[in-house]
Chain A
Amino acid sequence: MLTMTKLLQPDLLLLVRDAIDPETLIRHVRAAEDGAVVTFDGCVRNHSHGRRTLYLDYEAYETMALGKIREIAGQIHDKFPIHLVAIAHRLGRLEIGETSVFIAVSSAHRPAAFDACRYAIDTLKRTVPIWKKEYFEDGAVWADGEMPPAPAETRAAKPAS
């Protein structure tokens, strides 16, 4: 249920093609009533399964990915006493060391921001339809991913609305 509090939450949730600026996200969530801002900076590693990575290419089912990121924001507001969250995921070609995803969570006290930030990145990696292709010197592969939890087949399918 969408509460009035939710409507007033100006979380910042983005899919972007240019470099992510962490400062923008941090400034967005940080307010006078907050005692903590916890951030997660997901960056492009220079190796994968013992091979040297040259660069990555991310693609997304953009409308659904943004919807799932909004769901994550809603979940962490429900689960943890946080103030605001900002999540940006980058798409397209990313070089080694660049930020692929950045999350910032603010709260009055640090435990909520730590827990919510961890929940957000773990859930994002499991449920948001984004895929990365890893490019090596001798070829490219789609990264091993995680299967999102699918609705049970035994459940009666809902009629179309």
Chain B
Amino acid sequence: MAPRWPAGYNSVVTIPSHTARIKVLFFGRLKEIVGHAEDSIELPDGAPIEAVFSHFGANHPELARFRASLVASRNQEFAAWSTPLHSGDEVAFLPPVSGG
């Protein structure tokens, strides 16, 4: 049962957070295209992974060419491009893997 609070008392203090700072990682040929392995970006909270890629793709047209062959990850798990992001999330764009 939810606790009852005196009138006018906020049980949950919400700190306004309109933007999310996202850590972005690049590997393999993507790292070579972008020129570095790690970056960060501020987006509206809840923006999808796709928006992160669009940002970097706009600055690096060659990166955008690889979109169809990439898989995205959020916090070290494969993730749909529509996955919403929040502050502190770590996103990576993974070229086809070739370990072994």
A144-B96, A150-B80 are known contacts; what are 6 more A-B pairs with Cβ within 8 Å?
Answer: A61-B92, A130-B99, A131-B99, A142-B28, A151-B80, A160-B84
Contacts of B86 in A (CB 8 A): 160
* A108-146 CB contacts (< 8 Å) to partner B: 121, 124-133, 142-146
Q: Which residues of the partner chain B approach A58 to less than 8 Å between Cβ atoms? A: 99
- Residues of A with Cβ closer than 8 Å to B? 42, 58-61, 63-65, 67, 89, 100-101, 121, 124-133, 142-153, 155, 157-160
List chain B residues, Cβ under 8 A from A59.
27-28
Interface centre among A101, A121, A146, A157 (most CB of B within 10 A): A157
B residues touching A (Cβ–Cβ < 8 Å)? Answer: 25, 27-29, 48, 69, 71-73, 76-86, 89, 92, 94-100
Number of cross-chain contacts by CB at 8 Å: 104
B97 contacts A125, CB within 8 Å?
A: yes
How many angstroms from the CA of A128 to the CA of B72 in the assembled complex? 13
Instruction: Give the chain B neighbours of A63 by CB distance below 8 A.
Output: 76
Q: A142-B95, A147-B69 are in contact. Are A131 and B78 (CB under 8 A)?
A: no
CB closest chain-A residue, reference B25: A61
| Given A42-B100, A59-B28, A142-B29: A152 touches B92 (CB 8 Å cut-off) | no
The dominant DSSP class at the A interface is mixed
Complex Cα–Cα for A61 and B98 (A): 12
CB distance from B91 to the nearest CB of A (A): 11
Flag if B84 contacts A131 (CB, 8 Å): no
Question: What residue of chain A has the Cβ atom nearest to residue B100's Cβ?
Answer: A125
| B98 touching A146, Cβ below 8 Å | yes
| Chain A neighbourhood of B28, CB < 8 A | 59, 131, 133, 142
Contacts of B73 in A (CB 8 A): 61, 64, 129
- B81 near A153 with CB under 8 A, answer yes
What residue in chain B is nearest A147 (Cβ atoms)? B96
Answer whether A61 and B27 are a contact pair too, CB < 8 Å, given A121-B100, A124-B100, A126-B97: yes
A-B contact pairs, 20 of them (CB 8 A): A42-B100, A59-B27, A60-B27, A61-B73, A89-B100, A100-B99, A101-B100, A121-B100, A124-B100, A128-B97, A129-B94, A142-B95, A146-B96, A150-B78, A151-B78, A151-B79, A155-B80, A157-B84, A158-B83, A160-B84
